[in-house]
Structure 1
Amino acid sequence: MTVLDALQATLADEHAALYTYGVLGARTSQATAPALFETLTSGYRRHRARRDQLQLMVRDAGGDPVAAEVAYDLDGSLLRPPQLERAAADLEAASVEGLLALVAQSTGSVREWALTEATWSAVWRLQLGGTAETWPGAPELDRA
Structure 2
Amino acid sequence: MSDPTPAPADTVEALQTALAAEHAAVFVYGALGAQTSRSATPTLFARVTAAYRLHRTRRDQLAAMIRAAGGDPEPAAPGYSLPAELGTSRAVLARALRLEQDAARTYAYLVARTTGPTRTWAVTALLDAAVRGLGFGGRPEDFPGR
TM over 0.5: yes
CA distance in 1, matches of 2:79, 2:135: 27
Q: Which has the larger radius of gyration?
A: 2
Which residue of structure 2 lines up, in the alignment, with residue 58 of structure 1?
66
Q: CA deviation at 1:106?
A: 0.4
Match of residue 120 from structure 2: 112
Alignment partner, residue 39 of structure 2: 31
Residue in structure 2 matched with residue 91 of structure 1 by the alignment: 99
SS at match of 2:104: helix
Match of 2:143 among 122, 135, 143: 135
The residue type equivalent to 2:90 in the other structure is P
Q: Specify the alignment match of 2:4 in structure 1.
A: none
Contact 1:86 1:130 in 2 (8 A): no
- The letter for the 1-side match of 2:69 is A
The RMSD of aligned alpha carbons is: 0.9
The TM-score with structure 1 as length reference comes to: 0.93
Contact 1:102/1:111 (<8 A) preserved? yes
TM-score, scaled relative to structure 2: 0.92
- Gap regions ≥5 residues in structure 2: 1-8
Q: 2:55 corresponds to which letter in structure 1? A: H
Q: Which string of whole-angstrom CA distances, capped at 9 and with x for unpartnered residues, describes residues 79-112 of structure 1?
A: 1001101110110000000011011110000000
The runs of 4+ residues in structure 1 deviating greater than 2 Å are none
Question: Structure 1, unaligned stretches of length 5 or more?
Answer: 139-144
> Match for 1:11: what amino acid?
L
Provide, for residues 40-97 of structure 1, a one-character-per-residue CA deviation record: whole Å limited to 9, x for no partner.
Answer: 0000011011001000000011111000011101111111001101110110000000
Q: What residue number does 1:81 align with?
A: 89
Equivalent position of 1:142 in the other structure:
none
Corresponding pairs, count: 138
